[in-house]
Amino acid sequence: MAKDVLGAGIIGCGTFCTEYLKTLGPVYKNVKVVACSDIDMDRANKIAKEWGVPHPCTTEELLADPEVDIAVIVTGPGSHYPLTMQALKAGKHVYCEKPMALTFEQADEIVEYAAAHGLFVANAPDTFLDCGLQTARSLIDEGEIGKVNGMTINFVGPGPDLWHPTGDFYYKRGGGPVMDMAPYYLSALVSILGPIESIFCYTNRAFDQRPIQDHVVDVEIDTNCCGVLRLKNGVIGNINLSFDVVHARQPYFEIYGTKGALICPDPNTYKDGLRLIKYEDLKEKALAIPDYWDRVAYIDSPAPMELYKDIPTPKPIGENHRGMGINDMAECILHGAKPRCSMYMSRHITEAITGFSKSAATGMQYFMKTTCERPDPIEY
Ligand SMILES: NC(=O)c1ccc[n+]([C@@H]2O[C@H](COP(=O)([O-])OP(=O)(O)OC[C@H]3O[C@@H](n4cnc5c(N)ncnc54)[C@H](O)[C@@H]3O)[C@@H](O)[C@H]2O)c1
């Protein structure tokens, strides 16, 4: 008999897996968690006990379990590609944390294998499916800010040293702000404005060693990236990603058009809300200021921030927690829907994030080989 709820098996019972355990079943009803594994069996047993997961086991046992339809991989980045391939070869659909893989070639192999075997693959983040970013997209599609020509993305901060209990992997191959954080911003960007055409970037690192909790980690990758992007539709923008900045006042994600500018919710934490300024409102306010220098000061200063209007959304921004993408995949498997978190978009994002380091290493622009469709919008 055909299933009406799919079984998810969580591989990797560390810090972040609980975000999925909170939602798969309780919030997202297409899926329930039926098994969990970890290379450290104590962790798998602990999570199973705390969250009522019926089958704590090894990864081999999880992948042999007929109750598991979707392998949900929540391990560190270096194991994403081998575990994804292992799960696909066991006949399971895969939802894996970001990044999809450490190289474009690995991402390509995953997509080719899954496509040839009729299996679904998707990768975190799924935050672009949230109501705030979906509303931003519909405003842009409706022409609210006119023709879009620019954007800015900035995730710059002190890195995970002060909050992640076992965060060494952030400073090893597969970690760093580009591999770790760019997928949030690029998924949101591509879902709103479409695929990327080319990338240029410089990278460096401020520290060769980082103190994490009670020990010191050798930094193996660059931790400060300054890049620019051009999309296939001609939109250009900058992207700053850093673990080397104590604190900064830069917008997470803004999109600029001929008639207005949109402050979008941060695709990582949903901070900043959704706010819009229209050129006509700025013009009316500015032209009412008679003094030349006062008018210049008003336009050039942060004063026009008062003109940004909060955009109401059908549901609270950030209400949808992690797990939406898995539910979306389950909907496709159960009812034949078209995936919004598609493996083609994941591959495109993986090519882009690995393109950053290729550009930095060669001092040349990186031209994207892949493309992808914008995922279908969600009606909230
Ligand atoms: N911690 C966060 O706030 C956060 C947020 C978003 C995304 N993520 C992503 O989630 C993933 C996991 O992050 P985390 O913070 O939970 O890391 P973590 O180190 O706390 O947990 C990872 C777990 O995976 C297990 N593991 C490692 N290799 C394995 C393998 N081959 N087979 C089975 N188990 C294995 C480890 O023993 C550990 O228990 C990363 O890709 C990270 O980027 C984390």
Average pLDDT over residues 298-326: 91
Q: How confident is the model at residue 212 (pLDDT cuts 50, 70, 90)?
A: confident
Statement: residue 298 has pLDDT above 90: yes
Q: Which DSSP helix (H) or strand (E) runs through 136? A: helix 131-141
Q: What is the mean pLDDT of residues 142-149?
A: 98
Residue 77 CA: nearest ligand 1 atom is: 41
- Taking CA atoms only, the protein residue closest to ligand 1 atom 1 is 16
What average pLDDT score do residues 57-65 get? 98
160-194: b (≥16 Cβ within 10 Å) or e: bbeebeebbbbbbebbbbbbbbbbbbbbbbbbbbb
CA 87 / ligand 1 centre spacing (Å) = 17
Residue of 140 and 211 predicted with greater confidence? 140
Residue with tokens 């050798």: 218
* Cβ < 6 A, ligand 1 pocket: 11-17, 37-40, 43, 59, 74-77, 79, 83, 97, 164, 166, 180
CATH of domain 6-125+321-337: 3.40.50.720
Residues 6+ apart with CB under 8 A from 265: 130, 132, 133, 136, 253, 271, 272, 273, 274, 317, 318
Distance 62 CA to ligand 1 centre (A): 17
What pLDDT is stored for residue 330 in this prediction? 97
Q: What value does the mean pLDDT take over residues 121-147?
A: 97
Which of the four CATH numbers 3.30.420.240, 3.30.360.10, 3.40.47.10, 3.30.390.10 does domain 128-310 have? 3.30.360.10
The Cα 153–Cα 131 span in angstroms is: 19
Write down the residue that tokens 């704590």 correspond to. 56
The pTM assigned to this predicted structure is 0.96
Window from 38-42, 110-114, 321-325 with minimum mean pLDDT:
321-325
Give 17 Cα–ligand 1 centroid separation in angstroms.
7
| pLDDT score, position 301 | 86
Q: Measured in angstroms, how far is the CA atom of residue 336 from the centroid of ligand 1?
A: 30
Tell whether the model's pLDDT for residue 101 goes beyond 90: yes
Q: What is the pLDDT of residue 1?
A: 67
Query: 242 CA distance to ligand 1 centroid (A)?
Result: 21
* Pocket probe mutation, ligand 1, options 41, 61, 73, 75, max atoms within 8 Å of Cβ: 75
**Segments making up each domain of the chain, as ranges:** 6-125+321-337, 128-310
Lowest-pLDDT choice from 18-32, 104-118, 314-328: 314-328
Nearest CA to ligand 1 atom 28: 75
Question: Where residue 341 falls among pLDDT bands split at 50, 70, 90?
Answer: very high
In the prediction, which pLDDT does 166 show? 84
- How far does the centroid of ligand 1 lie from the alpha carbon of residue 74, in Å? 5
Pairwise CA distance, residues 336 & 351, whole Å: 28
Residue 320 pLDDT more than 80?
no
- Mutate which of 23, 36, 38 for ligand 1 pocket (most atoms within 8 A of beta carbon): 38
79 CA → ligand 1 middle, Å: 9
Banded model confidence at residue 214, pLDDT cuts 50, 70, 90: confident
Beta bridge mates, 210: 217
